[in-house]
Amino acid sequence: MRVCSLLPSATEIVAQLGRIDWLVGVSEECRWPPEVVGKPVVTAARIDPSSLTSLEIDAAVRASLVDGGSLYAVDADLISELDPELIITQDLCSVCAVSSTELVDACPVGAEVVSLDPRTLGEVAASVQLLAERLGAVAEGERIAAHMRSSIEETAELVRDRLLRRVFFAEWLDPPFCAGHWVPEMIALAGGRDVIGVAATPSRSVTWAEVAELDPELVILGPCGFGAEEAAERAAGLAFPCRTVAVDGDSYFSRPAPRLADGVRQLAHLFHPGASPDPGLPEIWLK
């Protein structure tokens, strides 16, 4: 089967299912696993985040949404040339990737479009099984989903009786956005309590003054699309109300894929280092 994945999370899942060779096209943001780098790129962001500050990126996104335009360019000619039988996209977030409505003029006749829109950890595991069914890898999908669930449950058991840590997780830095969808759930399972974010609901903008008033014990910086080092760099000049650590939000928190289980393990170690071992994921403590 010829597959185009417009989602980094879906690309990860397709690869884990053993179908990486079926990927004929990906989005510009699909860089994991490394073997997908170099495959034809069929969608790309219209703005270059590396050249803009967090505030400038936020302003560009808001302006695009007000104008009704898309943040992504779709190469319809290349998609037609690649002739995929299956295109994987999403309708959960207009900022994160191309939505299914944006493919109306770019979808080849006869191609099936699958939209993955999980809002909880359970739905993320279910999306693995959905793709596995479409790709003829049902048994492998069940194995991956089961491993994700069991890993999270094992971590939750380690910290189940610990005092909940008060946490603010920043999915964006300037302006700050609280955690949304599955991240507050991850925090709860890891032995914490998100002071603002609500599970299974979208992330939203807040202010650092609001965060300070809620008196968190720990601020975690995991901006969507960035790793720990870039998150720490972009946090320079911002003032935080308590101990603050930057993590790889792009790989372990913002992507609805099985690596979220590793994110839960990292959170549990950050909250309760004496009870949960260090998984060795990137983390940078800010002064």
User: What is the pLDDT of the chain when averaged over all its residues?
Assistant: 91
Mean pLDDT value of segment 2-18: 96
What confidence tens digit (pLDDT) does each residue in 28-61 have? 999 999 999 999 999 987 777 767 777 777 777 7
Render the chain in DSSP notation, one character per residue. Answer: --EEE--HHHHHHHHHTT-GGGEEEEETT---SGGGTTSPEEEEESS-GGGS-HHHHHHHHHHHHHHT--SEEE-HHHHHHH--SEEEE-SS-TTTS--GGGGTTTSPTT-EEEE----SHHHHHHHHHHHHHHTT-HHHHHHHHHHHHHHHHHHHHHTTTSPPEEEEEEEEETTEEE--TTHHHHHHHTTEEESS--TTS---B--HHHHHHT--SEEEE--TT--HHHHHHHTTT---SSEEEEE-HHHHTSS-STTHHHHHHHHHHHH-TTTS------EEE--
CA distance 201 to 171: 13
pLDDT at 102 over 70: no
Give the model confidence (pLDDT) of 199-224 as tens digits: 999 999 999 999 999 999 999 999 99
- Percent pLDDT > 70 in the chain is 90
Q: How far apart are CA 220 and CA 168, in angstroms?
A: 6
| 285: CB partners within 8 A, 6+ apart | 243, 244, 245, 246
Per-residue pLDDT, averaged over 166-184, amounts to 96
Domains and CATH numbers, the chain: 3-117 (3.40.50), 162-285 (3.40.50.1980)
- Per-residue confidence at 101, pLDDT binned at 50, 70, 90? low
Residue 132 has pLDDT above 80, yes or no: yes
pLDDT value at position 68?
Answer: 55
Q: Is the pLDDT assigned to residue 158 strictly greater than 90?
A: yes
Q: How confident is the model at residue 73 (pLDDT cuts 50, 70, 90)?
A: confident
Band the pLDDT of 240: cuts 50, 70, 90: very high
- Residue 83: phi and psi, rounded to 5, are 50, 55
Indicate the pTM of the whole model. Answer: 0.92
